[in-house]
A and B are shown apart, each in its own frame.
Chain A
Amino acid sequence: GQQLNQSPQSMFIQEGEDVSMNCTSSSIFNTWLWYKQDPGEGPVLLIALYKAGELTSNGRLTAQFGITRKDSFLNISASIPSDVGIYFCAGQLGAQKLVFGQGTRLTINP
């Protein structure tokens, strides 16, 4: 099946540091989505990207839709303890087909 390669798989950072993670694929996507999952909960949408080259922010989060439509990145500035969780990218292939990355587990040391 389709694969999204998400990296890094895990990150251990100090509070206040900036974070960067990305997803790449051999396939072209129409839409890129970034989700965050807290322990014991379902993923929650952070940012949706609809056009190649698009750069979108949501508070301290910034995400970009790669110009080739095969990649996307998510940056978190000035991390805080509540940023802890698992971050997933997802690419939309067709009308009802989302492909998810393997996730990036973020741990923050106070």
Chain B
Amino acid sequence: DAGITQSPRHKVTETGTPVTLRCHQTENHRYMYWYRQDPGHGLRLIHYSYGVKDTDKGEVSDGYSVSRSKTEDFLLTLESATSSQTSVYFCAISESKGAGANVLTFGAGSRLTVL
């Protein structure tokens, strides 16, 4: 267990409202990620972090921002939620395995519904 906690696990909100999802890890991993999961698309990377205050964009970053003010917490913010952001959001941490591979361990997910 990589000690990843996501909150909230479920949220329903209205279009135009801000939403923040939190990912908390207990094992001091350097790399943290936010993915979204949608039917027919698998998991797509939104943003990732490679250290405190160090973040980079993924393939579907529009409409999302992130912050990492301390190692254990990685926040995903939707400044003004839209219905297209209804999804299940997964946080992940990276653990190095053989040959420099990047093996992700995922949290349990946060289901967001934007009405």
Q: List residues of chain A with CB under 8 Å of any chain B CB.
A: 1, 4, 6, 30-31, 33, 40-45, 48, 50-51, 88, 90, 92, 95-98, 100-103
Report Cα–Cα, A110/B26, bound state, in Å: 40
Closest to A1 in B: B59
Interface size on B, residues (CB 8 A): 27
Decide: A92 and B43 in contact? CB cutoff 8 A.
no
Question: What does DSSP make chain B's interface, helix, strand, loop or mixed?
Answer: strand
Decide: A31 and B99 in contact? CB cutoff 8 A.
yes
Nearest-neighbour CB distance to chain A for B40, whole angstroms, equals 6
Residues of the A chain whose Cβ atoms lie less than 8 Å from the Cβ of B98: 48, 50
Residues of the B chain whose Cβ atoms lie less than 8 Å from the Cβ of A1: 59
Report Cα–Cα, A44/B106, bound state, in Å: 7
Q: List residues of chain B with CB under 8 Å of any chain A CB.
A: 31, 40-45, 48, 50, 56, 59, 90, 92, 94, 97-109
Nearest-neighbour CB distance to chain B for A50, whole angstroms, equals 4
Nearest-neighbour CB distance to chain A for B42, whole angstroms, equals 4
Residues of the A chain whose Cβ atoms lie less than 8 Å from the Cβ of B90: 42-43
Chain B CB within 10 A, most for which of A44, A88, A96, A101: A96
Given A40-B108, A44-B106, A96-B94: A30 in contact with B101 (beta carbons within 8 A): yes
Residues of the B chain whose Cβ atoms lie less than 8 Å from the Cβ of A101: 42
